[in-house]
A and B are shown apart, each in its own frame.
Chain A
Amino acid sequence: MSENSTSDATRSAWLFLAPALILMFIFTVAPAMFSLLLSFHDFKPFSFTLVPVGLDQYMELAGSEDYRTSLMATLRFAALVVPGAVLGSLAVAVLLDQMPFFRSIFRTIFLIPVGISPAMAAMLWVFLFNPTSGFLNYLLSTAGIAGPAWLSDPDWAPFAVSLTTVWKEVGFNIIFLMAALAQVPVELQEAAWMDGANSFRRFWHITLPSISPAMFFVTVVSVIHAFESFGQIHILTRGGPAGSTGVLVYQLFRDGFENSRLGLAAAEAVILFVIIGGVTLVQFMVARYLKGSPQ
């Protein structure tokens, strides 16, 4: 290749890359950096004029009872959603792997919630949670249990929101777990069966380890989704009652867009970035490690 064509190639390459890179710079890279800058500033009233406030906003978050509540709400939400979404999807995926009849219909039923938005999922569930006319409490009453005021009771609202979220997310996990289950070497299974191992032992000792990379992936993605949840919370509970469902993204929305404290919201975004980015990075590295190591 002559000198001309390599520099030609480089020029072409950059031309092809330009639209995407420029757009990414304008709308992702620059804003991300600006968020960091913004987190150290506040705005004059009704103005774009920035006033440096140093670490004040971070200190405010550190000392803020509301922010602590928000953190707790997020952790609790993740603790409720992740096991439910992962274990529930595992159970369904295993069943679907057994090639039941009407398999594609079943699959579609579990998958549809993935294609609709969190907002829609919330709208579908909001009436079900109604304390007096809702079907959920009616079902409970037939079992003799008095159902709580799901969305207005601070003790139960997190469960309500988690239930809606699990309902929506399970399908996503099922896809990956089904793919992983399909790749479990059948020979190992059959050998184990011939050795007299029952289904449970086969599952525990052969299937689970084989799908553990997928399980790990699905768990981490569920965690990340939990940390980024917003739509269903805005519609179901508006972050209440008493902040019990006010997860971090909701707090950011409230501070930045309802109370117009954009500098504070930027600080919250930076913290969220560190948390989510950290989790994603960990997941990324573990995945590479798993890929690199022999099975």
Chain B
Amino acid sequence: MRKGTNGLPVFSSRLLATCLLLVPAVLHGFPIFYMLSVSFKEAAEAYKFPPSLLPSHPVLTNYSDALNAAPLWQFMLNSLIAALGITAIQMLTSILAAYALARIEFKGRKIVLGFVVAMLMVPSEITIVPNYLMMVRTGLIDTHLALIAPFSASAFGIFLLYQFFSGVPRELEEAAIVDGASRMRFLFQILVPVSMPAIVAFGVFAFVSAWNQYLWPLVVTQSTAMRTVQVGVGMFRSEQEATSWGMVMAATSILVLPSIALFIATQKQFVRGLVSSGAGVKG
């Protein structure tokens, strides 16, 4: 592209790009906008043809109906417990493992590293059935632990942190050894704070990934009280009876809002985590 004196592309290209982007952006944002719009519509208006863009008489009844129809707060709590649990354990185990791989010279290091990289390529479907059977056998179906346990270790986390730790200058460690610090102290008092951006990026990414899971929570929870947000929202989708779309959209709004808010707040870190997950597979 041609660049002007300020290093940015020429004004005309920028303007053109802005205009061209309006259409896809509007189309892309429309579903979310429309969901909100329908959620405030009265029941009859939601079915009206032709459908209106905005509600003519906005109402809040859909929201109260949605809250009465299913325990939405319970869903969010379940998702929160599961996602936080997964993120915490993943972070802990990954930090420990990545440190060993990055910083300790030991026999078999290359093998373990290769093993972790191999684990990155394993799709989750191959583990579903046996993990499910394990949960059934141990009576853990329909519990929070079942939502957390199978995801407590993350090859991606280990690999990401391994790459980051490897890049941290050795002098820090040598200084710590001179000061008489143990490995643990070095890890948690020096290496981790220094690596905070990467760790937080991983944490955010892990949290969002866990929050967005669908298949495993669907399979491993039985009662409504244990459902997560994603499975819970799906309960509002009913095929045969005429659904109250206003209420469905209200429920979706309530349940999707935390994700959108969290995403906007942590966009930078999330994207960083996302890119690293790609970089991991890229090799």
Contact = CB atoms under 8 A, between A and B. Distances in A.
A28 B119 contact: yes
A127 B245 contact: yes
B66 interface: no
A127 B248 contact: yes
22 contacts: A9-B104, A14-B106, A17-B96, A19-B93, A31-B126, A31-B131, A120-B259, A123-B35, A124-B35, A128-B31, A133-B49, A135-B34, A138-B49, A230-B215, A231-B215, A249-B215, A256-B128, A269-B129, A277-B122, A280-B123, A284-B281, A284-B283
A204 interface: no
- Prevailing SS type, chain A contact patch: helix
A100 B13 CA distance: 8
Interface stretch (A76-84, A106-114, A153-161): A106-114
A132 B32 CA distance: 20
A253 B219 contact: yes
B125 A120 contact: no
A44 interface: no
Interface stretch (B57-65, B193-201, B249-257): B249-257
A101 B14 contact: yes
B130 A125 contact: no
A21 B28 CA distance: 42
Nearest to B38: A127
A271 to B, nearest CB: 10
A295 to B, nearest CB: 16
A48 B49 CA distance: 54
B211 interface: yes
A34 B32 CA distance: 42
B236 interface: yes
B278 A221 contact: yes
Q: 4 closest A-B pairs (Cβ-Cβ)?
A: A115-B263, A117-B212, A98-B17, A231-B214
A113 B27 CA distance: 12
Contact of B214 (A117, A252, A269, A281): A117
Given A19-B96, A125-B31, A127-B245, A117 B211 contact: yes
Contacts, number: 293
- Prevailing SS type, chain B contact patch: helix
Contacts of B17: 95-96, 98-100
A175 B122 contact: no
B99 interface: yes
Contact of B97 (A20, A114, A118): A20
Contacts of A150: none
A31 to B, nearest CB: 4
B112 interface: yes
B167 interface: no
A85 interface: no
Contacts of A9: 104-106
Contact of A231 (B133, B230, B259): B230
B256 A31 contact: no
Contact of B32 (A112, A230, A283): A112
Interface in A171-224: 172, 175-176, 179, 186, 189-190, 193, 217, 221, 224
Nearest to B278: A176
Given A32-B127, A127-B34, A132-B47, 10 more contacts: A12-B106, A28-B153, A35-B130, A108-B264, A116-B256, A119-B230, A120-B230, A193-B2, A231-B215, A272-B123
A96 B101 CA distance: 39
A44 to B, nearest CB: 14
B268 to A, nearest CB: 11
A92 B20 CA distance: 9
